[in-house]
Structure formats: C-alpha cells, structure tokens
Structure 1
Amino acid sequence: MEWILLVIMGLVAGTFGSLLGLGGGLIVVPALIMLGSQFDSLAYTPPQVAAGTSLFVMIFTGISSTLSYLKQKTVDYKSAFLFFVGIAPGTVLGVIASRFVDTELFFLYFGLFMLVVVGSLFLRGNLRQGSGMSKGVTRSYIDETGERQTYGYRPSVAISLSVFIGFVSSLFGVGGGALVVPVMIVLFGFPARTAVATSMLVIFLSAVSGSVSHLVAGHIAWLYALALIPGAWFGGQLGAWMNRKLSSAMLVHVLRVMFLLLALRFVYQGITGSGL
C-alpha cells in the first residue's frame, strides 16, 4: 500500500509540477519526510535525502514535460541554457550548505521558502507581464490577438539570479520553478506559457546538476526514487497537456491552500523542534 502511495505521489507531483512550472519537489520533499513517520515499512527520510531524491525524480518529470512542451513549441531553450550557466554552480553550493543545516533548521527554512511559494501563487493570477529589459537578449512572439510582442533580459542579470535559484533548488530539492516563473514573467516579460515551458527545461537541467552533487554526497534513496519515477514521468506529460487544454485557476487555488498548511506546519516544527 505504501509503495502504491509513492507511485501516486509521483504522478501528482509530476502533474502539478509540469502544469505550473514548479517541478513537483514541493510535494515530494515534505511527503517523503512525513510518510516515513507514518508507516513502519518506510524508513525515516532525512531532509537532505528527501531533497536529493526529489531532485533525481525531477530529472524524469523535467524531461517528460519538456518533450511535450517542445512539441507545443513553447520552450525558449536558448534562454533556458543561459540560465543554467548560473544554476549549475548554485546547485553545488546548495548541496554544500545542506551539510550544515540540521533537521529543525531545515524545517524552518523549508517552511519559510514555501511561504514565498504561496505568495508567488497568490500573485500569479495577478502578475502583469513586464516588457522585459531593453538591452541584452531579446525575443519576439505572436500573442493571442495576432500582434507581435517582445521580451528580453540582460544575461548578467539572468545568470546572477540563476545562481540564487540553483542554490535554493539544490538545498530544498524543489527545482526552483516557483522562483523562475515569476522572474521570467515580471522581470523579463516572458509570456506565461513560455515561462512555464522554459521553466521545466531549466528545472530538468538543474535537477541533473543537483542530483550529481547529491549522489556524491549519498543523498538519494534509490528504492523511493524508483517508485516515484513512473508516476513522475506520466505526470509530466499529463501536466503539459493540461497546461494547454485546461484552466489552472482551481488547481492553483488548491496548491495555495495545501502549501500554506504545509508551510505553517514546517515553520512550527522548525521553531519548536517538535517531531513529525
């Protein structure tokens, strides 16, 4: 029963992660930690191992959803690879930092990070697409009204922000999509669909980089990863399909409530030092 739950969890995380450009780690990391405390047949998963396992699983979510988005021609792959220039060293720094963060501090920091994610989800429906930066890289596209629009960014700014995003994604095992998507839309003027699709390619690249670092550190639970991967793969494709066909307003609302409750719980545990 417990292993079936892991497969379902992978499917849910992959679907929501692909649909919203979040990657799914915000579901996998807390679930792995909590499942170990609820079922005797599942060993307790330390936060660092939960983060490493989550990143490894996100490789498959990322490549599955990215392939689907590439077919939809909504991925700005040149920008994704540029952002990866900053994300790669950031993921290494995140793994190093994870060795010095104890369980209570991890709960507290993870909870605070999730509050930031909740805030981004509340703002997401009201995010106004920026015009991008006038100097540096520029892209153009045809919007829904048939008019040509442009967006852009300065490579130095994009890479600097990517270092921080990579650090956060590796430390918490969440992929960084909650930060990538708002940055792309508000600062760089990306259209929403392109931001989500490009975010999944960025998440895939950062997951590969972060997983290598976590693998060296011994932070991957292989049995749990194997149970999560099938659901994550199909969830990545399902989320990309839903992004194209369905409104995500209700799903975003559900995620807001779920993440808020989880965030408050982790912050409380981090402050009080109470167990799960």
Structure 2
Amino acid sequence: MKLLLLIPVGFIVGTIGTLIGAGGGFLLMPFMMLYFSNGSPKDLTAISMIAIFFNSLSGTYAYMKMKRVEIKTAITFSLITIPGSIIGTIITSFIDRERYNLAFGIFLILIVIFLLFFKKIGEGDNKNSSFIKTCRVKDSSGTEYNFSYNLLTGLILSFIVGFLSPVFGIGGGVLHVPFMIKLLCFPPHIATATSHFVLMVMSFVSVLTHIFSKVDRFVLLNSLMIVIGIIPGAQLGARLSKKVHGNFLLYFLSIALFIVAVRILFLKG
C-alpha cells in the first residue's frame, strides 16, 4: 500500500513540476524526506533524480510539440551542466541527514527571496556585453517571442545549477527557471520549456552516475512507482501551461517553495 501511494504522488509532482518547469524535485524530495524518515540523502536523491529524468523526458516531448524550446540554448546549457551534475552526485554520499535537512531548508528560503524580491534586469543591461545572444521562438500557436540574453552568465549559472541539482535532489529547474527569467530575460513560457530540456540531460547524467555507484532495490522499486504516475502527470502539466499566465508561474513556485522550506526546517534529522 505504501508503494502504491507513490503513483498518485508521482502524478501530482509530474503535473506541477512540468507546469512551472521545475521538474518536480522541489516537491518530491521534501515528500520523501517525510515519507522515508530513515532514508539516506544518497538513496533519496537517487530516487528523486530518476523520477525527475522521466518527468523531464515526458515534459520535453510535450513542449517540443508546442515549439517552445529554444533548441540551441537548451543544448548549450545542457552540456555545461554535465560536469557539475557528476560532481554534485558524488558529493551526496558524504552528507549526513541532519545537516542535509538544514541546508536544504535554507536553500529553498533563499530561492523564495530571490523570486519575490530580486528585480528582473533589463535587456538593455545585457547589450553592452560581447556575449549577447539574440533568440526568436515561434510556438505552435503562432505566438512569437523575441529576446536576448548574456551567454556567459547563462553558462556560469547552468554549471552552478548542474552542481546543486543532484546535491539537493531537486532537478535544478527550480533554480534554472528563476535565473533564466530574472537574470537572462527569458519569457516565462520559453524559460520553463527550455529548462525542461536542460533538466532532461542533467538528470540523465546524474542517474547514470548513481547507477555506476550502485543503486539498491529500495531505490529502483520506489522510483518505478513514482515514474508510473509522473509520466502522464507531465503531459497534463504541459497542456495546462498553455492556459497559465507567466507571472502566475513565479508566484505559484514561490508559495510552494516557502511552505516546503518551513516544513523541512522543522524536520528532525
């Protein structure tokens, strides 16, 4: 029965995670920290990253059909996350649970502060740089998005996201999407879709690293149950994104993260 509960949990995580482009790890990881109170950070992050990979794979497929992924940017950012993802995955083996809970809670609070109070930079602030990349995306509904961003800043942020993602088991979208919107001036809907592609590659690398370091039956069985629900949930989330205003994505993400952060900070090791 405990295993079967993970299927609807996966569906909810897949729907919300894909809707806001965060992969769902920011919801799944805190749930597992409560559900598997004796689980090690290494096992819990392994389950989360496996689930996130299948969620981002399903979500990316849906977003590609909508033509909302900025392909060249997605590939470039994906490549730079790989070394960070490998290093971050290895580090999880050396983190104890009590310190992990504290670090994770503080980390989420900082993201909420960034989302709510950090002013989005203007595109004009970027244009003085020689690293500017201009993009044009026309989605399947005919809506056209024109924007530019600082490539060097994007690469640095992507490496950081690649490192932190497997350490906290959150996938990275919860970091990447705010960074892309606030610092790189991406339109919210393009940021969520492009971030999902990056997340797919990044989580795949993390999963492979976990496999090479050996995962047990506990990890595989629980991952399977979550994945059964997460794949259809991701499809629903991508469809719902068509009807959601960009600013709502940021506010929803902020509220969810704050609630989760407070709960995690009151967990006992």
The TM-score normalised by the length of structure 2 is 0.87
Q: Tell me which of 18, 25, 50 is aligned to 2:44.
A: 50
Once the two structures are superposed, the pairs formed by residues 190-229 of structure 1 within 5 Å of their partners are 190-219=186-215, 221-229=219-227
Which runs of 5 or more residues in structure 2 are unaligned?
A: none
Cα deviation 1:134-165 (Å, max 9, x = unaligned)? 333221346999887331322x3322221110
User: Do structure 1's residue 157 and structure 2's residue 131 form an aligned pair?
Assistant: no
The alignment partner of 1:22 has SS state of coil
**216-225 or 159-168: which moved more?**
216-225
**133-142 or 179-188: which moved more?**
133-142
CA distance, structure 2, for counterparts of residue 151 and residue 17 of structure 1: 26
The alignment partner of 1:168 has SS state of helix
Once the two structures are superposed, the pairs formed by residues 1-276 of structure 1 within 5 Å of their partners are 1-37=1-37, 44-122=38-116, 130=123, 133-134=126-127, 135-136=130-131, 137-141=133-137, 149-154=146-151, 156-219=152-215, 221-247=219-245, 256-269=254-267, 274-275=268-269
Q: CA distance change for structure 1 residues 219 and 26 in 2, over 3 Å: closer, same or farther?
A: farther
Aligned residue-pair number:
263
AA in 1 matched with 2:206: G
CA distance, structure 2, for counterparts of residue 95 and residue 11 of structure 1: 25
AA in 2 matched with 1:98: T
Identity score, percent: 30
8 Å Cα contact 2:27/2:260 also seen in 1: no
The alignment partner of 1:99 has SS state of helix
Note the aligned Cα RMSD (angstroms). 2.8
Cα deviation 1:241-271 (Å, max 9, x = unaligned)? 01012457777656544432331232344xx
CA distance, structure 2, for counterparts of residue 191 and residue 108 of structure 1: 33
CA distance, structure 2, for counterparts of residue 138 and residue 249 of structure 1: 23
8 Å Cα contact 2:84/2:159 also seen in 1: yes
Which runs of 5 or more residues in structure 1 are unaligned?
A: 38-43
Aligned-residue offset at 1:34:
1.3
Q: CA distance change for structure 1 residues 12 and 252 in 2, over 3 Å: closer, same or farther?
A: farther
